[in-house]
């Protein structure tokens, strides 16, 4: 399914001339320099075409004659290669004395590049082809470091980073490899070089009898994989052989050369552009829609993984799509017809490095409407009181969720080691498949709350989402009897929830007794033990609260709240398991948020009363006769 979807992606892109996808026998490459040559083959200058706008200079991605992976030996690329192949340049490091070997290797690479150019372009009647051949005939790699046009570039070239070059004749606008005559010569050369080694069979992708690829092209851009590329499909052990097919040649998975080129080009194209690629831990995530006219759907999904990854212009959803998303967030069931372009196919692929191969972590394919349903359910599970409209989409953002597993420093920022590498993939799989959230995520959040005491909306929403989804997907279980709400539920009977609320009331009583001038509260000392061993802690806290309430002007209110909360709690449990510890935290947060909303409502009411009094006084002054 994966290869078929990628091959179809290539067919869709190749039908669009502005897509930038490479045609057969060509590939995308990073180009940093242009060698400007005259029609007589002499070198006129060298041009740096990298993007200098950022901190790091970025090469220009350009479609060039196909560049297969090379790991060792001498293997030149046609009209687009590193300085050592294109010029015979050999880098010289400071204090380095012996450069003879480097000089010899660079000459061999240049000569191999020259030989390839002669094979391809000999007899081609074209200005670019003739000028390039004359350059190769006249250029002396031994004098590369003395050439006037290269003197100012030696320091950059000696770094050996991003030195890929292409040719351009000074009298022409296009690059040398972009000349139609040169491109046709290259295509003929590639076709002729493959005829002798063709093995024909039925292609698994197209179903047609065609020339089968001996090996599948490398995939580049997977995080932490080999820089030269890694294989998605390959065989290298004898037990994989069948019916006399050599496993080293990939004939056990017969895919035609054109189909292999198509799916690998499509995947490399996705990996090359940040719009369709996000890194989560050690996993590289690529995603795409199945229709060229539905490109706005891709950033919509991306913002649920990493909002900072999405450009500002792509974050603006249509009002219709935003309305659908809000309905899904509120728990309404949607079908594809209710979602704009809901019947558009959508694909999500998670890849990870595995030695010289690419491992598939997961693959999801379906319609965009199904995906919106899953994302809406995810948003509904994570909805929590205390987040305003500006931050509600960030609460359920994958990166923001994973960041909460990190330690909080003294300045409130996340510090220390990042989340476990595999957790991001597990969490995303839970979201797009609608399955239970990882228990490891839930456990990590509880541990972080115990360690640093930070009970924020993001962490509480994670605990709430895990418990609610667990209850919904395990309906036969009586472990959790009631769903946890968005905000305070005064009728919830779960003892752990009520004890969390009680702890918040006890803390409030302490703060009021000290007129909110405490450097630390009972939360800093007792929260962890109260959430795990209530029977050992709460009798002490209640006794202490009597002293606090006797000194507070609101002591009677707190005493009444304690009585209401403790109704139905006949004894303090000796121990709360991990699930009920999460419920305790949620109850604590809900009660704290309820106090905050009370203060906020009182402040707004006071403000409105003052405004009304001022307006009434102004009206009286305007209506009274002048003295």
Q: Quick check: 256 and 210 in contact, CB under 8 A?
A: yes
Measured in whole angstroms, the distance separating CA 575 from the mean position of its chain's CA atoms is 40
pLDDT of residue 556: 83
Distance CA 613, CA 602 (A): 16
Minimal CA–CA distance to 107: which of 151, 143, 80, 72?
A: 143
Of the listed ranges 95-99, 357-361, 405-409, the least confidently predicted one is: 95-99
Q: Which residues contact 93 (CB under 8 A, 6 or more apart)?
A: 158
Torsion sign across C-alpha atoms 530, 533, 539, 544 = negative
Q: Which residues contact 398 (CB under 8 A, 6 or more apart)?
A: 280, 304, 305, 306, 424, 427, 428, 431
Residue 163's SS3 state is coil
Residue with tokens 């003197």: 151
Q: What percent of the chain has pLDDT over 90?
A: 40
Distance CA 499, CA 619 (A): 52
b/e sequence 316-342, b meaning 16+ C-beta within 10 Å: ebeeebeebbebbbeeeebebebbbbb
Minimal CA–CA distance to 366: which of 347, 382, 381?
A: 347
**Confidence bin at 214 (pLDDT 50/70/90):** confident
User: What is the 3 state secondary structure string of 63-131?
Assistant: EEECCCCCCCCCCCCCCEECHHHHCCCCCCCCCCCCCHHHHHHHHHHHHHHHHHHHHHHCCCCCHHHHH
Residue with tokens 């069948």: 242
Torsion sign across C-alpha atoms 149, 152, 155, 160 = negative
Of the listed ranges 48-52, 297-301, 594-598, the least confidently predicted one is: 297-301
Query: Above 90 in pLDDT, residue 167?
Result: yes
Q: Is 306 exposed, middle or buried (0-12, 13-18, 19+ CB in 10 A)?
A: middle
* Secondary structure element (H or E) that encloses residue 280, with its range: strand 277-280
User: pLDDT of 3-35, one tens digit each?
Assistant: 999 999 998 888 877 777 888 899 888 999 999
Q: Where are the beta strands (DSSP E) in 381-535?
A: 407-408, 414-415
Torsion sign across C-alpha atoms 60, 66, 71, 74 = negative
Whole-angstrom distance between the N-terminal and C-terminal Cα of the chain? 90
Structure tokens at 475: 């309906």
Structure tokens at 314: 């792509």
User: pLDDT of 514-548, one tens digit each?
Assistant: 887 888 889 999 999 999 999 999 999 999 888 88
Q: Which residues contact 346 (CB under 8 A, 6 or more apart)?
A: 287, 288, 289, 290, 297, 301, 365, 366, 367, 368, 371
> How many other CB atoms sit within 10 Å of the CB of residue 620?
9
**Confidence bin at 479 (pLDDT 50/70/90):** low
Minimal CA–CA distance to 405: which of 394, 393, 417?
A: 417
pLDDT of residue 32: 94
Alpha-carbon Rg of the chain, whole angstroms? 33
Strand 209-211 to strand 277-280: parallel, antiparallel, or no bridges (unpaired)? unpaired
Q: Quick check: 10 and 265 in contact, CB under 8 A?
A: yes
Query: Above 60 in pLDDT, residue 393?
Result: no
Residue with tokens 């953002």: 397
What is the average pLDDT across 89-103?
73
Distance CA 610, CA 330 (A): 36
Distance CA 342, CA 300 (A): 13
What is the average pLDDT across 490-500?
92
pLDDT of residue 603: 86
Q: Kindly report the backbone phi and psi dihedral angles of residue 624, in degrees, each rounded to the nearest multiple of 5, phi listed first.
A: -75, 145
**Per this entry, what is the length of the chain?**
627
Distance CA 207, CA 225 (A): 32
**Confidence bin at 476 (pLDDT 50/70/90):** low
pLDDT of residue 254: 86
Distance CA 500, CA 498 (A): 5
Query: Above 80 in pLDDT, residue 334?
Result: no
**Confidence bin at 411 (pLDDT 50/70/90):** confident
Q: Kindly report the backbone phi and psi dihedral angles of residue 36, in degrees, each rounded to the nearest multiple of 5, phi listed first.
A: -85, 115
User: pLDDT of 264-317, one tens digit each?
Assistant: 999 999 998 888 899 888 899 999 988 766 677 888 888 788 766 666 555 555
Q: How far is CA 358 from CA 75, 98, 216, 229, 376, in A?
A: 24, 39, 12, 9, 31
Query: Above 80 in pLDDT, residue 363?
Result: yes
Of the listed ranges 241-255, 308-322, 330-344, the least confidently predicted one is: 308-322
Minimal CA–CA distance to 28: which of 131, 198, 179, 164?
A: 164
Q: How far is CA 381 from CA 330, 386, 478, 592, in A?
A: 9, 15, 20, 20
Higher model confidence: residue 320 or residue 367? 367
């Amino acid at each position: 399914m994966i290869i078929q979807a990628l091959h179809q992606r290539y067919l869709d892109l190749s039908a669009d001339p502005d897509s930038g996808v490479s045609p057969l026998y060509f590939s995308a490459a990073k180009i940093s320099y242009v060698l400007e040559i005259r029609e007589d083959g002499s070198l006129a200058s060298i041009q740096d075409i990298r993007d200098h706008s950022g901190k790091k200079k970025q090469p220009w991605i350009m479609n060039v004659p196909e560049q297969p992976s090379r790991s060792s030996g001498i293997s030149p690329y046609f009209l687009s290669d590193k300085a050592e192949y294109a010029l015979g340049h050999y880098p010289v490091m400071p204090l380095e004395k012996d450069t003879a070997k480097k000089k010899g290797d660079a000459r061999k690479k240049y000569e191999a590049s020259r030989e390839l150019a002669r094979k391809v372009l000999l007899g081609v009647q074209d200005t670019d082809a003739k000028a390039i051949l004359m350059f190769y005939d006249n250029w002396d790699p031994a004098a590369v470091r003395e050439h006037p046009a290269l003197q100012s570039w030696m320091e950059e070239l000696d770094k050996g980073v991003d030195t890929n070059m292409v040719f351009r004749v000074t009298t022409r606008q296009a690059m040398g490899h972009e000349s139609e005559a040169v491109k046709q010569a290259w295509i003929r050369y590639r076709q002729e070089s493959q005829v002798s080694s063709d093995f024909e069979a039925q292609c698994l992708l197209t179903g047609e009898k065609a020339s089968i690829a001996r090996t599948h092209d490398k995939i580049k851009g997977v995080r932490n994989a080999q820089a030269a590329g890694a294989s998605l499909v390959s065989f290298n052990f004898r037990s994989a052989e069948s019916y006399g097919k050599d496993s080293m040649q990939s004939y056990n998975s017969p895919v035609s050369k054109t189909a292999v080129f198509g799916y690998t080009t499509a995947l490399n194209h996705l990996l090359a552009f940040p719009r369709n690629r996000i890194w989560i831990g050690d996993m590289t995530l690529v995603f795409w829609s199945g229709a060229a006219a539905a490109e706005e759907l891709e950033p919509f999904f991306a913002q649920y993984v990493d909002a900072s990854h999405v450009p500002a212009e792509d974050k603006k959803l249509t009002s219709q799509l935003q309305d659908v998303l809000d309905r899904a967030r509120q728990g309404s069931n949607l079908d594809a017809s209710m979602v704009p372009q809901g019947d558009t196919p959508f694909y999500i692929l998670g890849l990870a490095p595995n030695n010289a191969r690419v491992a598939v972590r997961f693959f999801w394919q379906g319609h965009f409407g199904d995906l919106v349903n899953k994302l809406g359910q995810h948003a509904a599970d994570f909805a929590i009181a205390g987040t305003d409209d500006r931050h509600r989409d960030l609460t359920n953002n994958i990166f923001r969720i994973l960041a909460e597993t990190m330690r909080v420093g003294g300045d409130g920022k996340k510090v220390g080691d990042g989340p476990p590498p595999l957790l991001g993939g597990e969490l995303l799989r839970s979201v797009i498949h609608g399955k239970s959230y990882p228990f490891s995520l839930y456990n990590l959040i509880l541990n972080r709350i115990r360690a640093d005491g930070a009970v924020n909306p993001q962490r509480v929403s994670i605990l709430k989402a895990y418990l609610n989804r667990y209850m919904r997907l395990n309906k036969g279980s009586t472990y959790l009897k009631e769903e946890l709400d968005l905000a305070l539920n005064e009728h919830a009977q779960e003892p752990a929830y009520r004890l969390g609320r009680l702890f918040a009331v006890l803390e409030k009583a302490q703060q009021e007794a000290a007129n909110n001038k405490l450097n630390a509260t009972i939360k800093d000392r007792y929260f962890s033990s109260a959430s795990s061993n209530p029977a050992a802690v709460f009798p002490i806290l209640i006794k202490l609260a009597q002293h606090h309430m006797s000194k507070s002007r609101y002591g009677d209110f707190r005493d009444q709240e304690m009585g209401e909360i403790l109704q139905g709690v006949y004894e303090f449990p000796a121990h709360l398991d991990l699930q009920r510890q999460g419920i305790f935290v949620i109850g604590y947060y809900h009660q704290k948020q309820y106090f905050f909303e009370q203060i906020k409502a009182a402040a707004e009411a006071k403000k409105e009363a003052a405004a009304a009094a001022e307006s009434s006084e102004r009206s009286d002054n305007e209506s009274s006769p002048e003295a």
